[in-house]
Structures are given as structure tokens and as C-alpha cells.
Chain A
Amino acid sequence: MDLNGKTAVVTGSSRGIGRAIALELGLNGASVMINYSSNDAAAEEVKKQIEEIGGAAVTIKADVTDYNQCESMIQNTIEHFGRIDILVNNAGITRDNLLARMKAEEWQDVIDTNLTGVYNCCRAALRPLLKQKSGGRIINIASVAGIHGNTGQANYAAAKGGVISFTRTLAKELGSRDITVNAVAPGFIETEMTETLSEEIKEQVTSRIALGRLGKPEEVASVVLFLASSADYVTGQVIAVDGNLSM
């Protein structure tokens, strides 16, 4: 699993699953562009950790809902590392509410970040990826909510379901250029996003997971590493990393 000489952009990688992905790719030799939206200190900490093990990393604050910022993030990556090989679209937010109470803003914010953000970053990365003529890897972080649906998450599930269909389509469009496009669909993972769930909900959820526990961010990251490094003949797929959750 050697990513030496490869460059990876990981959106939303100052915390949670994105952070674990940035560390995993960095640990395996990739130069990493750590994108974040607000938490400068947390992003710096991820950069430091990658540098401590001898890797290369740069942080960049960019809002994935803004195409121009995505474009300059990609340009910045190429200025720093000379190329781009791997794009991991991980940045995501939740604004949970039952649809009966969901405000238009809660709907739109989630669609903008979780779905349009993926379009923006892929669109911006495509020109350099095609120009390099050396293939590439796009890995989109979806969610099991995007496969099965989830009460209170109509916005999130719609965005993630959109990401899955987008992934399958892009895999078809770019296959001839040896650019693989896959999605990873995490279930319940121990991050700040799930920290706010009540103990009662957590127990309820855990009872529906075959492995009997929530997942760790590192367990998602190792599947992303697999797709980024050795899964040469895998494209257009959605891999659930959910401990076999029955929704």
C-alpha cells in the first residue's frame, strides 16, 4: 500500500472521519492537502501528525460550497506538490429534523455542502487529472443513510443518495481515463457527528449492528486507503462500512 509520490486532497479533514483518512493516506506515503472550513488549530494538528511520521502535508481553508474556492484549493495543491492523484470528498454536515419541521435553510445547507460540494471539487480536479494522463482516484464519502434513508435526515439522506448516483455516473464517464470513482458509505461511526446522539439512541442503534458496536474513523479510513491504493479494478461501487447495520 505504497502511496509515495502521490498527492491526495481530503476535504473536511481537520476532524472526524476526514482526519483519519488524511492521517491514513499520509502514513502510507501520500502528500496530503488537508482542507477544512473553520477549525484552523485542528487542521494544523493533523498536518503536524503527518509531518511527525515524515510525511508532507499542507492545510487549506476552503468552503466546498463555493466553486472558486474549490478551484483554488486544487491549484494550490498542484503548486505545492506538483500533481493530484487522489480526491477524497469527505466534507459533510448534518442539520437533522423531521421533514414536517425542516426549514428550507436546513435542507439547502446540507444539499450545498454534501452534494454540490462533491460536484465542485470533482469538477475542479478533473482538468488536472485528465491533463496528467496518469489516471486517478476519486473517493466520495456517502452514508448508509443515502442507501436506506434515515428518520430525521431527509436532507442528509437525499444528498448522500445523490452522491452515490453521482459516483456511479462519474465512474462511467471517466473509466476510459483510468480514473476510478467509488463511494464509501459509513454507518454509525464514533465522531462529533454521532457524539450528540443520546445514550438511548446509541443503545438502540447498537442493537441493530451485527458487530455490536459503533465503528471507528480509522476503520473507514482503511477502506479509503484500499480504494486509493490497491483497488485498481474497482470502480462505480459503494462500500458500506457499517458493521452490518440493519436500518
Chain B
Amino acid sequence: MSVEAKVKGIVADQLEVAIDKLSAETTFEDIDADSLDVVELVMALEEEFDLEISDQEIENVNSIGDVIKYIESKV
């Protein structure tokens, strides 16, 4: 499975949104994710991709596309 598909799957699962509503342009704001949602999402990504994601690194991550780019740069 591609990083993109995995990330979308995790976001859909964590935030309880339909996966076909998610694109690279979807921002966290679009799907009503609050700060704790983002923290939970980061936790799930860390587990899925076996990463440690620092607070600074997620500061500039606002959309699904940002997440995919970030993960792709790490794995």
C-alpha cells in the first residue's frame, strides 16, 4: 500500500471521516480536527510508520498532502 493510501486510511479511521472525502488538499480544519485530534493522528502515524515525530515537525503540517510529504521524507 502506498504512503498516501495508508495516511488516508489512518486519517479516515482516527477522525471518523469517509476516506473518499479525503484528498491531498484536505486540511485538518476542513475535517474539524482539534488539537487533540492532531495529537492522536500523530500517535497513530508514529505507530504505523515506526517514527518519532517531534512537535516542531508537525507545526507546519496542515493538510493530508503535508502529512504524506513528511512521511515520504522519513521512510
Which A residues fall within an 8 A CB radius of B?
127, 130-131, 173-174, 176-177
Contact = CB atoms under 8 A, between A and B. Distances in A.
A131 B43 CA distance: 9
B34 A176 contact: yes
Counting contact residues on chain B (CB < 8 A from A), the size range is: under 10
A130 B34 contact: no
A127 B36 CA distance: 12
B34 A127 contact: no
Closest 8 pairs between A and B when the two form their complex, measured CB to CB: A130-B40, A127-B43, A176-B36, A173-B36, A130-B43, A177-B36, A176-B34, A131-B43
Interface majority SS on A: helix, strand, loop or mixed?
Answer: helix
A130 B35 CA distance: 14
Contacts of B40: 130
Nearest to B34: A176
Nearest to B44: A131
Contacts of B36: 173-174, 176-177
A131 B36 CA distance: 12
A173 B34 CA distance: 11
Contacts of A127: 43
Contacts of A131: 43-44
A174 B40 CA distance: 12
Interface string B20-46: 000000000000001010001001100
Contacts of A173: 36
A127 B41 CA distance: 11
Nearest to B39: A130
Contacts of B43: 127, 130-131
A78 to B, nearest CB: 14
A14 B56 CA distance: 41
Contacts of A176: 34, 36
Contacts of A174: 36
A55 B34 CA distance: 40
Contacts of A130: 40, 43
A174 B36 CA distance: 8
Interface string B32-71: 0010100010011000000000000000000000000000
B72 to A, nearest CB: 25
A124 to B, nearest CB: 13
A97 B36 CA distance: 41
A130 to B, nearest CB: 5
5 contacts: A127-B43, A130-B43, A174-B36, A176-B36, A177-B36
Nearest to B37: A176
